[in-house]
Structure 1
Amino acid sequence: MVNRWIIFLCVGFFCSSAIAESIKPKTEKINRQEIVTQFSPTLNSIDKLSPFTLGNGKFAFTADVTGFQSFADDYFAAGFPLETKSRWAWHSKSGNYQLSAANEEYSAYGRQVNFPTKMDSPAAQWLRQNPHDLPLGRISLLLDGKKINPEKINNIKQHLDLWSGKLTSSYSLDGQAVSVESVVHAERDLMGFKIDSALNKNSRLAFEFHFPRGYDFSVKNTPDMDWQNNQEHKTKILKKSKASLVLERIVDDQVFTVLIRWQGKANIEQVAAHQFSIQPVNDTSSFQFTVEYLNQDSPKASAINVKKIAKSAKKYWNQYWSTGNFIDLTHSKNPQADELQRRIILSQYLLAAQSRSDIPAQETGLISSSWYGKFHTEMAWMHYAHWILWDRSDYALPMLNWYQNHLDVARNIAKNRGLEGARWPKMVGPDGRESPGGNPLIIWNQPHAIHLAEMLYEKTGNKKILKTYSVLVDETAQAMSSMLVWDEKNNRYILDSPIWISQEIYTPTESRNPTYELAYWRYGLETAQAWRVRQRLPINKKWQEQLNLLSTLPVKDGKYVAIESIPDTFDNPASREDHPSMLAPTAFFNDAYLDKKIMNNTLDTVLKYWRFDTKIWGWDYPMLAMASARLGRDDAVDLLLMKSKNNHYLFNGHCPQVGADLAVYLPANASLLTAVAVMLEKNAAGEFIGFPKNLGWDVKVEGF
């Protein structure tokens, strides 16, 4: 049995790449710049839900139509914040609590186990909210020393050049023409602004820098900035000269420097404790300044002008768009082609601008705060799989390296719960500490580390990857193995309660054998076993026993249901909301063990009866599309672009989540790109599985 399994495993894993190579599509030369330029957005009026973001993947600045953040309060009231953020910026309010203070005892893995799920205490609330991400400040344009009334802005033309990473904002202010160029450096937390207007000549324009206490901690998602508690933070002038202002910011345990430099003459005024303005007093209509944010570990910052910042940004974005895979749908006759191409281009831009930090991205990226700034590890695959599939694997490495660097954290969690190996936390800040709440009962985050490592290996074929991530893969699988429970009555291994399954509507203590998680467990253990074979290590006999005796996926009335213990998915309308997670095994890893006829019937029933108008998420639609494509259907694009709740992409490319108070939701953008890559897989006839030619698709690709 074992020897046959090894032969099957080797054939399955090693020959699949050869088969893929034999049907690899011929690449065609595409004018990438032309397409990126075609879908670079231009605003001709104020759109409070579509400000534009400039960023380098680790630092970002979001601007209104003035090229600054002059109307931040108006935009926030409409539902979209204007912020300046860097992923290193965190702070914790005073408190000395241990995670064990939130522990509750459950029956798990055949014994009593503590999980930090108790939330009715100050300790639990503090541990959930801290550390918290910190907004760096706000930069606004003033007219005659006062805030600008949006009604004074006319003749608006704001263009975001995606190819060069430059934002150009032109408008009339009080009857005078204003032109602003805004750029962000490719590597540094550094912005540059060039302002041309006759209003500069008579010193009518000024630029305000305002620093908040942080966020309103009482709001989990998209909180407003705290401008009230001025006594709880400090802004010190470290140095002031004719051409620069250096400030030190102290917010709880976070200390950083703000370095403002300008060209030409200007007056500096400290308006309030945390509020400064710079007013040009030169005789020319042009004024330039730069702003850089430096954390305590930053190297000494050299002076650099706006032109050089723009040159740096242009080089970064030109290189980004010129490398990796590319798709051109512009020759298609299908009426959905332009909208899909727009979403693809803007999603690629938004992710490269916000989602490349060593600390993994939160779901709102570098635009606003969500879940107190924390990263959700169950979103790791949604955030990072697309980088690998679009041949930008280097951008996925920060996630895998994060796993590597936090193995000790995961080992400690496993030890505390009586598990082997490394059990990954669900909701984490920069220190990797688990956050209390229902989070520790989520388990579908666990196999992601294995899945991403396997994708990277399959994509590159680099055997060094096996060595680099072998411990990560093996210890992740060890924890998965020790989380399985033997069901003596039915002679099988099960995933037993407590589980907060991916469709987050079921009581954790009543949840057993959820479909997605159960299939993912098989995928994870089989893949980890394959890694052992590739490295000429003996197979893990315990894992093999568990794989041989693992529960089958729950089926009822010819359809896969979400969970075995409560198989009411298609009987109870209340169970048909949130993620239709029973589709995930086909969508995410094309599970070879399930019955495609049953899965096809399941998808049909989901499309007919799912309550898309209630609780649903932006990555669910890409999941539907991937399932459709891999089942050989022709409705993948229809599902990807379904006109339904939480699948509307704004003019700036973002996908807000109604009901969750999220103006931004990067897992939707990232999953859309993953879905497109899956839809570009080829069938036996050599056709793209998600773009049938008979539906008017003319698809050109580079890579894939």
Structure 2
Amino acid sequence: MKIDRQALVTRHTIECHDPTARLALGNGEFCFGVDGTGLQTFAGNCMAHWGWHSFPLPAGVTPDQVPATGTLQQGHAVDRDKFPPGTETLRQWLFDNPHIMNLGRLRLAQPGVISNVKRTLDLWTGLHTTRYEMDGQPVKVETCVHPALDLVAVRIESPVPLAVVLDFPYPTLKNEAWVGDFSQSPPVATGGGRKNFERTVDTTTYHVALEGNADSFVCAFSAQPLPATLPSFGETKTACAAKWKNFWQTGGAIDLSASTDPRWRELERRIVLSQYQMAAQSAGSWCSSEMGLLGIDPWRGQFHMEMVWWHLAHYALWGRWELGSRAIDCYRRFLPAAKALAAQLGYRGLKWPKSVGPEGRSAPWYGNQVLLWKQPHPIFFAELDYRLQPTLATLEKWADIIHGTAEHMADYPVKDAAGIYHLAPAMPPSEQGITRDTVFDLAYWRWGLDKAQQWRQRLGLAREPLWDEVRKNLAPLPVVDGVFVHSAEWHDTYTKRAWEHPDPVGVRGMLPPMDGVDAKIARDTVAKVWATWNWDRCWGWDFPWMAMAAARTGQPELAVEALLKDSPRNQYDFQGINTGGPCPYLPGNGGLLYAVAMMAAGWDGAPERHAPGFPENGQWQVCWEGLNPAL
């Protein structure tokens, strides 16, 4: 039965009565954090994936002292990435820069006493409407963002004129109600025709334009000069509605409303709102930070290359690959940086950086060179792309990236006297320290090298002998008492280390079956992790990771339990943003979308039944369309 998509979406319309809460209005590249006044009177930022700033270099530090790779390390990784004594100031600057910046703030100049706030965000049209009283007078404000321009449009209905001003901050690193110091520039009133600004903040320059009158206006931001004429509020509202209607009517959909399990509505709410949040904040020119575009997170808004998978892989399964493709192209743009990093450390191929901004330079952190699971990700993305577009053009587009990635993967392991290749040193995804032969990395290395060889064969090229040798002789996945453990050295996985990311479940969950990963051990591992883990000391994406593994190992009841586990790290707030991190945490949203699409549409080798990742207990009726199976 065809899904009534409008009914599906609109039953999860966002309602909020908190005047200070920030809701995300965005087009994937730009986000306007709107508060209860329909503006940013109490809170909210204007942020874009192109909007970056760097503070001037500290006194005594010259540009030639800034390492292009983000590290001063030379030679192979043997332990943590260290900065020599006396470079602490340089290290801190490298960590802090570049950082995402707040482009500006629109607010009521004199808000008065605001009460009786009633707000709705219509997901079908992308329109935020708020009604409130200010000093006893009724006010209505409509706000929306243009789908193709980084532009916010506002219309105000009030019996008395309301003064709205635009002001600009100097960038700061604190995630407060507004990001930035607004004391350094005077506010500018809206209305009175077109106003243009060229903002220069240290080495960052961007353009801003206000157009309209005091009660109906638009404000646009751009890294390039803006067009002479901007769309009006009405034109923006129409374009915004058309964009979101098309978004919801295309791609995948999952309707759970025929289910009798009482949890169906909450799971469906999370699914619908996660689609909205990722499309609003994480569908632009660069990968998203873990907080998206609502503020600045502890990592300065830089994106983590191991987290790129969680932000973007779901688009392949939901039939919306084009929304993630520009950000996924970061691997092409970062290729010179990855080549330089590998060469500086004495390795072949491409070594992908860790926490970066658009320049591809890693922010300093002790685990940068030994956190390994970011390395095979581009091979995974390439395979997703090929599944959707199995053409020679796709093969050629990814060929050099896959070759360089696999070349480093074959060069990194250390060969012992017995001919066994070890991943050493290695920090697992759980980041609990530095060890060797980490279980998830050993599995991901196997899959990645296999897939890289298959890519060569698709191109009519011979297999690389060294890749085969390394793959064949990789250390076995560590097993203790019949279950996988974090690493060959950490046999206390289920006692002292049963927290943070549950690495052992990823080997047959996120990853498909492969030689060297025993199916029964994988199934028993999932059960063991579920029973012993401290789920209050995890992160938002750990729950969908667990769900993927439970589904793939034939435990669908557990898959649903994992997605809906009652934990403070597995909550989704009123607008559907996962809160399982130190800030609003979009990797949880992206992970949920990948997991639930996989549970509905299946995966390579899945049981041949409808919705193979959901229980066959009669309580879950899963109606889905437009989804693609997982690898």
TM-score by length of 2: 0.92
Shift of 1:292: 0.9
Q: Which has the higher strand share?
A: 1
Measured in 1, the distance between the counterparts of 2:142 and 2:302 equals: 32
- Larger Rg over CA atoms: 1
Distance change >3 Å, CA 347–CA 100, structure 1 → 2: closer
Q: How does 1:184-263 map to 2 (within 5 A)?
A: 184-200=145-161, 205-216=162-173, 219=174, 225-227=179-181, 230=184, 242-263=192-213
Task: Give 2:141's aligned residue.
Answer: 180
Q: Is the 2:271–2:592 contact (alpha carbons within 8 Å) kept by the matching residues of 1?
A: yes
The alignment partner of 2:607 has SS state of coil
Partner of 1:66: 37
Question: Per the alignment, in what secondary structure is the counterpart of residue 308 of structure 1?
Answer: helix
Q: CA deviation at 1:304?
A: 1.8
Equivalent position of 1:133 in the other structure: 100
Distance change (3 Å), C-alpha of 1:57 and 1:159: same
Shift of 1:517: 0.8
Matched, 1:460 2:389: yes
Check 1:605–1:209 CA distance in 2 against 1; reply closer, same or farther (3 A cut): same
1:285-311 deviation per Cα after TM superposition (whole angstroms, max 9, x unaligned): xx211111122x345342321000111
Task: For residues 14-69 of structure 1, give each alpha carbon's deviation from its aligned partner in whole angstroms, at most 9, with x where no partner exists.
Answer: xxxxxxxxxxxxxx4211111111111122x2175x53211100001011121111
1:354 and 2:315 aligned: no
Per the alignment, residue 599 of structure 1 pairs with: 522
Q: Structure 2 residue aligned with 1:86, among 24, 48, 51?
A: 48
Report the 3-state secondary structure (helix = DSSP H, G, I; strand = E; otherwise coil) of the residue aligned with 1:99.
coil
The DSSP-based 3-state class of the residue aligned with 2:108 is: strand
Counterparts of 2:420 and 2:596, CA distance in 1:
37
* 1:381-437 residue CA offsets vs partner (Å, 9 max, x unmatched): 111110001111112312332111221111111111111111110111111112211
Unaligned runs of 5+ in 2: 58-62
Q: How does 1:583-622 map to 2 (within 5 A)?
A: 583-593=505-515, 594-614=517-537, 616-622=538-544
The match for 2:422 is 494
Mapping 1:112-131, distance limit 5 Å: 115=81, 121-131=88-98
Contact 2:166 2:187 in 1 (8 A): no
SS in 1 for 2:329: helix
Distance 1:224 1:162, change over 3 A: closer
What is the alpha-carbon distance in structure 1 between the residues aligned to residue 182 and residue 242 of structure 2?
Answer: 41
Q: Which residue of 1 aligns with 2:18?
A: 46
Please say if residues 51 and 652 of structure 1, whose CA atoms lie closer than 8 Å, have aligned partners that are also in contact. Answer: no
- Is the contact made by 2:19 and 2:42 (CA closer than 8 Å) also made in structure 1? no
Residue identity matched to 2:236: I
| Alpha-carbon distance in 2 for matches of 1:421, 1:101 | 15
How far off is 1:470 after superposition? Answer: 0.9
Map Cα deviations across residues 228-285 of structure 1 (whole Å, 9 max, x no partner). 762xxx6799x9993232233221111222211123xxxxxxxxxxxxxxxx5xxxxx
- List per-residue Cα deviations over 1:422-470 (Å, max 9, x = no partner): 1110111111112211223321111000001111112333332111111
CA–CA separation in structure 1 for the residues paired with 2:575 and 2:618: 28
Letter matched to residue 246 of structure 1: N
Distance in 1 separating the partners of 2:69 and 2:147: 43
**Displacement of 1:128:** 1.2
Question: Are the structure 2 counterparts of residues 199 and 224 from structure 1 closer, same or farther at C-alpha, using a change threshold of 3 Å?
Answer: closer
Contact map agreement 1:113 1:417 (CA 8 A) in 2? no
Change (3 A) 1:393 1:106: same
* Aligned match of 1:427: 355
Is residue 521 from structure 1 mapped to residue 478 from structure 2 by the alignment? no
* CA distance in structure 2 between the aligned counterparts of 1:235 and 1:525, rounded to whole angstroms: 57
Distance change (3 Å), C-alpha of 1:228 and 1:338:
closer
SS of 1:340's equivalent? Answer: helix
Which runs of structure 2 are paired with 1:403-422 in the superposition (5 Å)?
403-422=331-350
Task: Please point out which of 367, 370, 392 is paired with 2:320.
Answer: 392
Cα distance in structure 2, aligned partners of 1:399 and 1:174: 46
Work out the CA distance in 1 between the residues paired with 2:19 and 2:153: 23
Secondary structure at 1:694 match in 2: coil
In structure 2, give the amino acid aligned to 1:619.
Answer: W
CA separation in 2, counterparts of 1:141 and 1:375?
A: 33
1:277 matched residue in structure 2: none
Is the 8 Å Cα contact of residues 192 and 306 (structure 1) preserved in structure 2?
yes
CA distance in 2, matches of 1:89, 1:101: 21
Q: Give SS of 2:580's match.
A: coil
Any idea what the Cα deviations from partners look like across 1:630-684, whole Å, max 9, x if unmatched? 01112211111101121110111111235x2x1x111000100000111124443
1:670 to 1:466, Cα distance in 2 relative to 1, 3 A: same
| Equivalent residue number for residue 375 of structure 2 | 446
Secondary structure of the structure 1 residue equivalent to 2:230? coil
Paired residues of 1:236 and 1:249 also in contact (CA < 8 A): no
Give the distance between the partners of 1:116 and 1:302, measured in 2 at CA: 52
What code does the residue aligned with 1:354 have?
Answer: Q
Task: Establish whether residue 305 from structure 1 lines up as the match of residue 212 from structure 2.
Answer: no
Partner of 2:219: 291
2:292 is paired with a residue whose SS is coil
* 1:627 counterpart SS class: helix
For residues 652 and 87 of structure 1, the distance between their equivalents in structure 2, rounded to whole angstroms, comes to 21
Cα separation, 1, equivalents of 2:190 and 2:596? 52
Distance in 2 separating the partners of 1:47 and 1:342: 23
- 1:482 paired to 2:482: no
Q: Assess, with a 3 A threshold, how the Cα gap between structure 1 residues 70 and 235 changes in structure 2: closer, same or farther.
A: closer
CA contact (8 A) 1:588 1:623 kept: yes
Alignment of 1:510-659 (within 5 A): 511-570=435-494, 572-573=495-496, 575-593=497-515, 594-614=517-537, 616-633=538-555, 634-657=557-580
Structure 2: distance between partners of 1:539 and 1:166: 54
Paired amino acid for 2:326: P
Shift of residue 590 of structure 1?
Answer: 2.2
**Fraction of identical pairs, as percent:** 34
Q: Any conservation in 2 of the 1:240–1:246 contact (CA below 8 Å)?
A: no
Separation in 2 of the partners of 1:240 and 1:697?
52
Mapped partners of 2:403, 2:476: distance in 1: 24
Instruction: Provide, for residues 499-521 of structure 1, a one-character-per-residue CA deviation record: whole Å limited to 9, x for no partner.
Output: 33211112x2xx10000111111
* 2:599 aligned with 1:679: yes
Instruction: State the shift of 1:223 in Å.
Output: 8.7
Number of residue pairs matched?
613
- Aligned 8 A contact 1:101 1:123 in 2: no
Distance 1:330 1:520 in 2: 37
**Matched residue, 2:67:** 99
Question: Would you say the 8 A contact 2:259–2:620 is kept in 1?
Answer: yes
Q: Distance in 2 between matches of 1:334 and 1:433?
A: 48
TM-fit CA distance, 1:592 = 2.6
Matches within 5 A, 1:136-151: 136-142=103-109, 146-149=110-113
Q: Could you tell me how far apart the structure 1 residues matched to 2:488 and 2:79 are?
A: 23
The answer to whether the Cα contact below 8 Å between 2:286 and 2:330 also exists between their aligned partners in 1 is yes
Contact 2:281 2:288 in 1 (8 A): yes
For the structure 1 residues 136 and 618, does the alpha-carbon distance in structure 2 shift closer, same or farther, using more than 3 Å as the test? same
Q: After the TM superposition, which parts of structure 1 deviate over 4 Å for at least 4 consecutive aligned residues?
A: 100-107, 112-120, 221-224, 234-237
Counterpart position of 1:363: 290
Q: For structure 1, which runs of at least 5 residues remain unmatched after alignment?
A: 1-27, 73-81, 264-279, 281-286
Q: Distance in 2 between matches of 1:384 and 1:102?
A: 25
Counterparts of 1:591 and 1:380 in 2: how far apart (Å)? Answer: 22
In the superposition, relative to structure 1, how do residues 412 and 694 fare at CA in structure 2: closer, same or farther (>3 Å)? same
The question of 1:703 aligning with 2:626 is answered: yes
SS in 1 for 2:312: helix
